């Protein structure tokens, strides 16, 4: 059956949400901490390459911070600048303390075919932020983008199976993405991700089972990736892109982070471990465990 021009279908199914509790933000009273935990040792590095590493993150040395907020500074060769990484070599390019966010680069998933429909290249993505760690994918800013004319994607929470969704992107003719202002179904579709997401598994398939043979001349590859929607510009995309092209290697993803496992009230009971310092307020995290510190207004 011939695929109609710009045909697009998106299906989202959320599974087993009964275990997820979402609380509205609540601010605790401003408190001055006498703890010396807000002071880093002068021997702790504050930068890696051109990325600043603020309190309460540390680099490599466990004396600088607890393991949850310990990052690595890796230099792959003497001639290349060092890269700040978290977890399984996820590259960090910005840490924002006031917003309690971290911007990272994550490799895009893809599948590619030759003219006869034989798969020639493929990368499924499996990203783990650590089930007990302080990081979660930002549901407020990230979108899952599916790019291609014969692409079906399944995405799930790889470990706890709280979330699952699918999305299909189809088109029968080339689309000039330079004329598009949003990812709305013309060779590109998108869907949201839920709160509390710490792991992500992305798998691609040919949506029509023809393995791109009907669209190969202008779209040999399909792509799927999580991306901070503020950094994504569909007008700069092309359907004939290959995975080796710089625009398709990785995407900028926003992570939320929080401190500890406690609520603000619980954390305030132990001033030796409470990290919010002078002129800051404590806020409950609405996307994961723990609390966040923000400057008092």
For residue 157, what pLDDT is reported?
Answer: 85
Specify the residue for token string 């390019």: 93
List of the chain residues with pLDDT < 70 = 1-43, 62, 65-66, 88, 159-161
For residue 111, what pLDDT is reported?
Answer: 97
**CA torsion, ordered 215, 221, 222, 225, to nearest 10 deg:** -150
Q: In what order do the strands lie in the sheet with 58-59?
A: 58-59, 70-74, 83-86, 90-96, 101-107, 250-257, 135-137
Strands 199-206 and 125-128 come out as: antiparallel
For residue 40, what pLDDT is reported?
Answer: 46
Closest CA to 250 of 164, 152, 155, 125: 125
Strands 58-59 and 70-74 come out as: parallel
For residue 14, what pLDDT is reported?
Answer: 29
% residues pLDDT > 90 (the chain): 46
For residue 88, what pLDDT is reported?
Answer: 65
For residue 67, what pLDDT is reported?
Answer: 78
């Amino acid at each position: 059956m011939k695929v109609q021009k710009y045909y697009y279908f998106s299906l989202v199914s959320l599974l087993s949400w009964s275990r997820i509790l979402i609380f509205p933000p609540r601010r605790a009273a401003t408190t001055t901490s006498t703890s010396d935990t807000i002071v880093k040792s002068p021997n702790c590095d504050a930068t890696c390459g051109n990325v600043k590493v603020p309190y309460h993150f540390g680099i490599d040395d466990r004396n600088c911070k607890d393991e949850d907020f310990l990052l690595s500074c890796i230099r792959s060769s003497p001639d290349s600048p060092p890269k700040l990484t978290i977890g399984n070599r996820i590259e960090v390019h910005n840490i924002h303390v006031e917003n309690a966010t971290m911007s990272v680069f994550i490799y895009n998933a893809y599948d590619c075919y030759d003219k006869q429909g034989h798969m020639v290249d493929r990368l499924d993505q499996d990203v783990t932020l650590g089930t007990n760690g302080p990081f979660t994918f930002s549901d407020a800013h990230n979108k899952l983008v599916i790019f291609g004319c014969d692409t079906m994607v399944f995405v799930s929470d790889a470990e706890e199976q709280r979330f699952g969704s699918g999305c299909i992107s189809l088109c029968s003719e080339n689309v000039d993405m330079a004329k598009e202002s949003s990812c709305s179904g013309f060779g590109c579709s998108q869907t949201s991700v839920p709160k509390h997401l710490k792991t992500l598994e992305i798998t691609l398939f040919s949506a029509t089972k023809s393995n791109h043979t009907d669209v190969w001349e202008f779209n040999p590859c399909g792509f799927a990736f999580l991306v901070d929607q503020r950094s994504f510009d569909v007008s700069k995309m092309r359907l004939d892109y290959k995975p080796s092209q710089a625009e398709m290697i990785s995407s900028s993803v926003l992570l939320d982070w929080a401190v500890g496992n406690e609520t603000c009230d619980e954390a305030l009971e132990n001033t030796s471990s409470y990290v919010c310092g002078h002129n800051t307020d404590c806020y409950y995290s609405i996307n994961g465990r723990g609390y966040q510190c923000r400057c008092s207004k």
